[in-house]
Structure 1
C-alpha cells in the first residue's frame, strides 16, 4: 500500500498551530499541509459534530480516502468515552488543551498536552477524557470503511442525530471523490474510470451535505411578543 501522507510530516504541520488562537490555528495547519502536500486537501468541508464511543466532539475533515484521513477535532467543554477498537491506526497531535488516556492494565492516566503525540494502533483501544476541552490533529491509516459503523452508530441508535450521521457520510463521500481525482503518491495519473467516479462523488457529495445540513446554531431566546 502506497500511502499519501507521512505521520511525522503531519505532526510537524500540526506544530504550526501551537500558540495561535482559534480558528487561526486551524488555518495554520491547513497552510502547512498545503506546503507539504500541494492540492491534496479539500479545505471547504464544514465543521460537523461527531458522536462515537460515548464522546461528543466536532470535527473538520481535510482529506479522506479508503485508507487514510486527516482531520482536526475537538471540544471546548470536554467529553469522555471509548476510542473504539479498530483495524486502523490513529496518530494524534494535541494542539490546544489536554486529554487523558488509559488502556487495559494501565492504572495511571496518560496526560497529553500541546505538542504531545498519541498513537492508538490497530486492534487497540483507550478510555479517553478530554478534561475541560481539547483540540487535536488526527491522521488515520488503515481500512477506514470498517470504522464507519462506529462513527455513526451513536448518532443512529442513541442521540438520533440523523443529520450528523448523514453529513458524516456525505462529507466522507465528497473527500473520497476528491482523492480519486488525484494522482497516486508517485505521481502516476489516476485511471480514467476512477477520475470519472471521483468527479461524480466530488459534485454530488457537497450537494447532499448542503441538503442534510441543519440550521446554524442560534442562541437567541425566542419571544411571542
Structure 2
C-alpha cells in the first residue's frame, strides 16, 4: 500500500513539475545572456586596464542601468568566500532570486574542482585570467579568456580550473534553491567556516526576499 501511495504521489507531482519547469520558470527570467555579453565586452574596452575593482564597478554600473533595483550596489565589504566542488574562491552577489542569480566569482590565487550537477544553465563570462574546462572523453582542455563566455548546460558535468588569478561574471538560470546544497555542503561538512556559511545565507536570503517584494521570483 505504501508503494502504491508513493507511486500516486509521484504520478501527480511529475506533471506539475514538468509544467512549472517548462512553462512557468522561463517566464521568471529577466537577464538576457546576450545583453550580459555586450556589457562585459563594453566594460572590458572602457575600464582601466589592470584594475579589476574598477572593472567590477563599471560592470555593476552598467547592470544597474539595464536592470535597476534588481542589481545590488557593488560594495567591497560584501565579498564572500565560497567552497564548492573542492574549489575555493570568493563571490559578490549582484542578484539572487528563485529562478536566477548573478554574481562576480573568482580567485586571486587559482583553484580547481568539480562544476557540480545543477538544475540550471550557467553562463560564465571571463573578465580576467583564464578558465580551463575538461569535458569527459575530450583529451584537450577548453580554454576561455577575457570576453569569452563558457556555457555550462543544465545537467552537464565538467572539471574546471582557474590556473591563476581569474575573475568572471556568472549567471545561473533555473531552480536556484536546488543549487544551494552544492554551494554550502563543503562549508558545512569540510571547512566548518560557519561565519562564511552565515554570510552566504544572509546575503542570499536578503536578495531573494527583496526581489520577492518587487515581484521577482
Shorter-chain TM-score above 0.5: yes
Residue from 10, 13, 33 that aligns with 2:63: 33
Deviates more, 1:165-174 or 1:52-61: 165-174
Residue from 153, 170, 185 that aligns with 1:121: 153
Equivalent residue number for residue 107 of structure 1: 139
Q: Is the 8 A contact 2:113 2:159 kept in 1?
A: yes
For 2:175 and 2:127, how far apart are their aligned partners in 1? Answer: 26
Deviation digits for residues 10-47 of structure 1 (CA, Å, limit 9, x no counterpart): 12112244253121000000111112112221125610
Aligned residue pair count: 185
Q: 5 Å matches for 1:41-190? A: 41-43=71-73, 46-183=78-215
Q: Is the 8 A contact 2:57 2:74 kept in 1?
A: no
- SS in structure 1 at match of 2:109: coil
For 1:10 and 1:147, how far apart are their aligned partners in 2? Answer: 21
For 1:15 and 1:103, how far apart are their aligned partners in 2? Answer: 26
Report the Cα offset of residue 181 of structure 1: 2.1
Q: Is the 8 A contact 1:17 1:95 kept in 2?
A: no
2:41 is aligned with 1:15: yes
- SS in structure 1 at match of 2:203: helix
Q: 5 Å matches for 1:206-225? A: none
Deviation digits for residues 139-171 of structure 1 (CA, Å, limit 9, x no counterpart): 100001111110000011111111111211111
- SS in structure 1 at match of 2:192: coil
- TM-score (ref. length: structure 1): 0.78
For 2:64 and 2:40, how far apart are their aligned partners in 1? Answer: 12
- TM-score (ref. length: structure 2): 0.81
For 2:215 and 2:120, how far apart are their aligned partners in 1? Answer: 23
Q: Is the 8 A contact 1:83 1:126 kept in 2?
A: yes
Deviation digits for residues 92-136 of structure 1 (CA, Å, limit 9, x no counterpart): 110101110011111100111100110001110110110111100
In the TM superposition, structure 1's runs of 4+ consecutive aligned residues that sit over 6 Å from their partners are none
- SS in structure 2 at match of 1:11: helix
Deviates more, 1:94-103 or 1:38-47: 38-47
For 1:25 and 1:127, how far apart are their aligned partners in 2? Answer: 27
Report the Cα offset of residue 183 of structure 1: 4.5
